[in-house]
Structure 1
Amino acid sequence: MSILVTGGTGSLGYSILSNLSGTNHELYSFSDELPQPWQKVEGVQYLTGDLLDFRNVLEMIQKVSPTHIYHLASQSSVGLSYKKPYETLNINLLGTQTLLEAVRQVVPKAKVLLLSSSEIYGRTEQQLTYLHKETDPPNPLTPYATSKACMEILGNQFRNANGLHIVFARPFHFTGPHHSRRFVIPSIAYQLVKIKYYGAEPVIYSGSLDVSRDVVDVRDVARAAIQILNTAESGEAFNICCGKSYTFRELVEMLVDISGVSVDFRFDPGYDRCNDIPLLIGDPTKIMNLGWKPMICMEDCLSDLFNEMVVRRRVELKMGMGRDLRL
């Protein structure tokens, strides 16, 4: 079995590859750059290239000849999608088009998982109580959400017209070890690391912390994605969630307790975004019927994130990466 993970250097890609490491499968990652030391998984062959370059992607698929594909590579920041809507649509939609066309030509029997997002659900009139189901129609509010909703339509086109085996995963918010500092919770964890170990000002800068999200550990999301690709029928979509929410403020307060430092909070409008959905919770019934459930509690998730961030920063400094990287 040959398994390809596009975007394999991200936190979810890392967790999927870690789950599959040590098996007899051939494991490949395809990203736009080589992994940093903390992004590497033993036994994985790391390939680089441009997802928008069809010849590049076609040659990669010919080389790997995958039987299973986790397509995670994307512009995954909602906030950045406002600043770069064309880039977001390019990568998330046309990049998927490039990959699926190469799959159609070279390995049409491969199983493909397309990583979508709960963001496609947008707002509802029942937003204070409603658990989104997979049958809910898309109602995107952001360029990122639109790109993912369109990606699902594109995936169904290839499935219907060409018979490809394609399934869709819609994770709600997730975090945990190896999560990029572009996102709220790891960004705050990194600020706490700098305060505790490197003498930074004891102030946390953030946008609004009063939005609520259904949150799952990234390693649980990885297990769900593997379960979906291995067992689901083509065309099926699955929420990956736990059915309950945390405010970002609650998560940050947990992180502060874990770090053991005292801090002040300051609002930074640079972190804020318009059209934010106040509350986004999913119905996990369908994915749980596959035999999955979240196993890692939020306290352990955030503790592991903080501790991994400490190690990551030490490695950066050892490599001479003194500036604040966004990884």
Structure 2
Amino acid sequence: MSVRVLVTGGDGFIGQHLVEYLLGRGYAVTATMLGEAPSDGTLSRAACEAAEWTRLDVRDAGAIASVVSAARPCRIFHLAGFSSGAEAGLRSRDALAVNGAGTLRLVEAVARGSADVQTVVVAGSADAYGRGGSGPVEERTPLRPLSVYGATKAAQDVLARGVGTALGVPVVVARLFPLLGPGQRPAFVLPSFCRRALAIRRGTAEPRLAVGNLDVARDFTDVRDGVRALADIADLDATPHMAYNVCSGVATKVRRLLEWVLERAEVEPDIVRDPALVRHGEPGIVVGDPARLRAATGWRAERDLRACAHATMDWVADSGAA
């Protein structure tokens, strides 16, 4: 019998890649969405048809209970929520209601009547750490977020593990460092570069790129490696109520992402620093320590980031996302 899994937020960037990966492992996947089933080309047609799609707003406790009851999953991957820091900043109450309280409602629904659930993997965020420390960020690093988004993800993290412990629900938080790849929304740095480079290549924009601070460095990972990590975490038997960093352990400057995009687009625009695009007060470098995840599962980031940037550029060009 196939392993039954539920993916909340299956219509999102990470969710679509996770649905594709889990179906490839032979799992029976129920995925939730806010609107219509995905159709932007990130998911294959076969995957769209193989998964069972259902609408869900995680602010509705009754709807969560109904979806969990109908899906009867052995494993739940909770990805539904605000993923954009800018959007969370503009809609802070909604972001907390979804990222924080929505996660609480899911854990409570599992506790009330889902004996089949062996693991709930919550997609957390490295933004919950804030600045981190002077070296690679470990899971024991205190959560000291610097943004509204980071605060909502810190609340989600604490609620998921704390309430999970109190109610006997096996919850694990995957603290995702920035993921990149095809299907990501234009609000994020890599697809934003891709869209603008493509416009220059097509002659619909001047050969000039306004940028923020290109020398900030982050621990980027290809989303396809990221979803493999989520699945590996769900496979673990005896680590409930823990957190795992999902990261490469290597910092890459944003400048490198731009160089790879321009290389793929075959354009050489003027690069102009725009003070309005600089995020004042943001850490210069944030890199994670993947040792705990590596020791538990053997997982490590395998995909090349340059190839990831090229694949994202190709997706933007082919999908009409530009």
Q: Could you tell me how far 1:284 is from its partner in structure 2?
A: 1.3
Contact 2:107-2:164 at 8 Å conserved across structures = no
Contact 1:115-1:170 at 8 Å conserved across structures = yes
Paired residue for 2:153?
148
Contact 1:184-1:206 at 8 Å conserved across structures = no
Paired residue for 2:39?
36
Is 1:57 the counterpart of 2:49? The answer is: no
Contact 1:71-1:114 at 8 Å conserved across structures = yes
2:287 aligns to what SS in structure 1? strand
Q: Could you tell me how far 1:267 is from its partner in structure 2?
A: 4.2
Give the partner amino acid of 1:291: G
1:4-153 alignment runs, 5 A limit: 4-34=6-36, 35-41=38-44, 42=47, 43-110=50-117, 111-124=119-132, 126=134, 130-153=135-158
Which of 204, 209, 221 lines up with 2:214 in the alignment?
209
Structure 2 CA distance for aligned equivalents of residues 63 and 39 of structure 1: 26
Q: TM-score, normalised by structure 1?
A: 0.89
Q: Deviations over 1:83-130 (max 9, x none)?
A: 22212111100111222222222314411001111111112562xxx1
* Root mean square deviation of aligned Cα: 1.9
Contact 1:9-1:40 at 8 Å conserved across structures = no
Q: Which runs of 5+ in 2 are unaligned?
A: none
Contact 1:167-1:237 at 8 Å conserved across structures = yes
Contact 2:122-2:174 at 8 Å conserved across structures = yes
1:282 aligns to what SS in structure 2? coil
Deviates more, 1:224-233 or 1:99-108: 99-108
Q: Which runs of 5+ in 1 are unaligned?
A: 317-323
2:267 aligns to what SS in structure 1? coil
Which of 177, 180, 184 lines up with 2:185 in the alignment?
180
1:217–1:124 Cα change, 3 Å:
closer
Contact 2:177-2:247 at 8 Å conserved across structures = yes
Paired residue for 2:299?
292
Q: TM-score, normalised by structure 2?
A: 0.91
Give the partner amino acid of 2:231: I
Paired residue for 2:170?
165
Structure 1 CA distance for aligned equivalents of residues 40 and 133 of structure 2: 46
How many pairs were matched up?
312
Structure 2 CA distance for aligned equivalents of residues 271 and 62 of structure 1: 46
Q: Could you tell me how far 1:271 is from its partner in structure 2?
A: 4.3
Q: Deviations over 1:139-186 (max 9, x none)?
A: 111111111111121112332221111111011111011112111111
Which of 228, 248, 263 lines up with 1:257 in the alignment?
263
2:144 aligns to what SS in structure 1? coil
